[in-house]
Every structure is written in C-alpha cells, then in structure tokens.
C-alpha cells in the first residue's frame, strides 16, 4: 500500500511537470526528451514510468479528473440537501479552476483533442459521469423549487460548466475580484437563472 | 479595390485550410510544408502570402475576430434598445460558435497561447473591445431594469461568454436540441440570472 502510494505520487509529479511542458510547447511540439529533461529522468526512465507519449497525456488528464474528484466530489459526498450540495459543488469547481497550481492540467483536460482511441474514450467517460451527476443534482434542485423549470437540467449543467471552466481564460486570482465574491455572484446568478427569483 | 478583395478572399481561404491543419496537428506539430500542401501552394508561395508561421496564426485569429464582427456586431449595429440589442448579440454569438463551418477557427481563437508578443497583443485588444462592448450593453440593460443589479456587468459578460464559447465542447447541431431552442433557453437563463424574474 505504501509502495503504491509512492508510485502514484511519483506519477503525479511527472504529470505535473509534463503538463507544464505540454502547455508551453504544445502536445506535438514537446518531445519525450524535453519532458524527461524537465522531470530529471533519462528518456528510458520516463518511458519506464509512463509507457508512451499518448499514455502520458492520458495520465495527465486522468490525474486532472482525480483532482476534480478530490476537490469537488469528496467534499460534497456527505451533503444530503440537493441545493446545498449543488452550491458546494459550484464552489469546489470554481476553486479547482481558479487556483494557479493546476492551471496546466486543467487546460490540457479541456483541450483533449490530441488524445485518441480507447484512452480518449476513458477520459470522456469520466467527464460524462461528472456531467450526469451535475444534471441529476440540478433536476433534484428544480424539483424542490416552487416554479415550473424553464431550463432542462442538461443545458443548465453545460451552461454552468461553461461559466466555470471559462474562468481560466479571464479570471485573475490576484485581480480586483476575490474568489469568494466571484463564487457568490456565480451562485446567485446560476440559481436565479435556474429557478427564477432571488 | 477589386484586387484588395480578391487578396483578402485568398488569404481567408488559406486561413480556413491552415486552421484545419493546426486543429488536427497542433500549432507546433504542423509544418509550413503541411499547410502549403493542404492549401495547394509551394512552401515559397505560402510564405509569400503569409510571411511567417506566427503571422499565419495571427491572420487566422484576426479572421476569427472579423467573422465575429460580421456575424454579431454588424447585425446588431442598428438596434437601439439595449435589451433587444443584447438579445440579438447573444443569438448571433451562439450562431457563430455552433456552426460547424468555422469550428477550427473558433477553437484556435480560444486557445491562443501559441501567439506571442505584438501579434498576441493585437488579438487580445480586439477580444477586449468585444468584451467591453458586452459589458456596456449589460450595464445599460441593468439600468433599465426595476431591481438593483446583483451582478457586475463585467462578471456577467464573462459568465455569458463562458456559457456560449463552451458550446463548442458539447453542443451538437445535429443532436436533439435545436439551435433556436438552445438560444431561447440561454436567453431566458441569462436574463433571469442577470435581472431576476422571468
């Protein structure tokens, strides 16, 4: 168990550094030698850890989804009330996107065209599961509301993901808008848009 | 004048094809030879038209902003009422993002990390001008509303851009949601979120 943990830790370190190299040079522009150098391994050592460049890209994205699970899902697992659970999900997801530490991984996760075949399917299945969880939560919140829902849970889930995931394009955590203010405004806006009223 | 138009037309054709090659191979993965072959030019001929690979990327993004102007701004220029103008802006911007014809250009415009220096600044200035136009329009709509605004025009503008620009990640124009339905739902959701009430 301890060994598995240290292997996972090592793989995560490699993913973090490789994500930075891919982010800077592009997936096609970065060679395995570039990444090995950045990680402090020989090329053979890097291949030993990650198998192939495709596999490395997959591991980065998979790590991104692990971080999503850890930052968002684990913190909401014990919340029963759908509205409180959705609130906390939104706060957690915003937190994940705006923190600078994981910027490269987040970006690579969004721009997943370079991944092909079965590995791509695996990542897309994890993304799909997250979206379906959001949809279901939104549907439960709508059911508790007093008005007839005007927006389908599916469109609402994607609108929400767009609002949040797009933050990496513009939000500066050192700028004038504090993260807790941003989260509050997004919550107000989303719930009002979803349910009507304040 | 006729010559300028035909030069612009030729450049746009090159941009469209080059965008497809960059989209498939990545900016760093695609060579000028790849693009010349796809366009049906010699490498020297391609350089004659676009100057350099950086410049070509800039021209693609600039073309993307031209399309935004043509699809969105020109159609709203004569609308006086802020709310009607914002509605039409949203409808136009959705139309731009979901139509398959310009997918590659739209994606490259979003993922503009590869562009550096002065060329990057020029594109960012055009993006900024668009966002400021949106902000101002949103502020005018809020001023007409009966309630105290709960969301700053700036955050509202970026939330809106996120909702719309993210569509390229999930919306399928041949799927179950028709574009006019999508636009109506987005309009309801955004205006309700912005102003409260239905």
What ipTM goes with this model? Answer: 0.89
Give the residues of chain B that fall short of pLDDT 70: 1-4, 197-198
**Residue of chain B with shortest Cα separation from A153:** B185
Q: Which residues contact A58 (CB under 8 A, 6 or more apart)?
A: A115, A119, A122, A123
Give me the pLDDT at residue A104, please. 84
- Distance (Å, rounded) from C-alpha B18 to C-alpha B1? 26
Q: Tell me chain B's radius of gyration from C-alpha atoms.
A: 19
CB-based contact B150 A30, cutoff 8 Å = no
CB-based contact B30 A27, cutoff 8 Å = no
Q: What is the pTM of this model?
A: 0.90
Give me the pLDDT at residue A197, please. 57
Q: How far is A163 from chain B (nearest CA, A)?
A: 4
Give me the pLDDT at residue B197, please. 57
Give me the pLDDT at residue A198, please. 43
- pLDDT tens, chain A, 198 aa long: 445 678 888 999 999 999 999 988 888 889 999 999 999 999 999 999 999 999 999 999 999 999 999 889 999 999 999 999 999 999 999 999 998 777 888 888 877 777 889 999 999 999 999 999 999 999 999 999 887 788 899 999 999 999 999 998 899 989 999 999 999 999 999 999 998 754
Q: Which long-range contacts (CB under 8 A, 24 or more apart) does B65-68 make?
A: B65/B109, B65/B123, B65/B126, B65/B127, B65/B130, B67/B96, B67/B102, B67/B105, B68/B93, B68/B96, B68/B130
What would the two tokens of residue B164 be?
């719309």
3 state SS of A116: coil
Helices B117-144 and B82-98 cross at an angle (nearest 10°) of: 140
Give me the pLDDT at residue A56, please. 95
Give me the pLDDT at residue A2, please. 46
CB-based contact B155 A198, cutoff 8 Å = no
CB-based contact A189 B162, cutoff 8 Å = no
């Amino acid at each position: 168990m301890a060994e598995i943990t240290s292997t996972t830790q090592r793989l995560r370190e490699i993913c973090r550094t490789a994500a930075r190299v891919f982010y800077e040079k592009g997936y096609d522009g970065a060679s395995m030698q570039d990444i090995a150098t950045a990680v402090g391994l020989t090329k053979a050592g890097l291949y030993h850890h990650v198998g192939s460049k495709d596999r490395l890209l997959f591991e980065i994205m998979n790590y991104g989804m692990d971080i999503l699970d850890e930052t968002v899902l684990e913190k909401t697992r014990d919340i029963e009330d759908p509205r409180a659970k959705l609130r906390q999900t939104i706060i957690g997801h915003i937190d994940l996107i705006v923190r600078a530490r994981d910027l490269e991984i987040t970006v690579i996760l969004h721009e997943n065209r370079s991944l092909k075949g079965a590995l791509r399917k695996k990542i897309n299945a994890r993304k799909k599961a997250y979206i379906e969880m959001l949809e279901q939560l939104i549907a439960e919140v709508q059911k508790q509301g007093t008005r007839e829902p005007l927006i389908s849970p599916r469109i609402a889930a994607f609108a929400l993901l767009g609002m949040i995931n797009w933050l990496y394009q513009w939000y500066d955590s050192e700028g004038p808008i504090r993260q807790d203010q941003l989260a509050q405004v997004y919550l107000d806006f989303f719930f009002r848009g979803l349910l009507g009223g304040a």
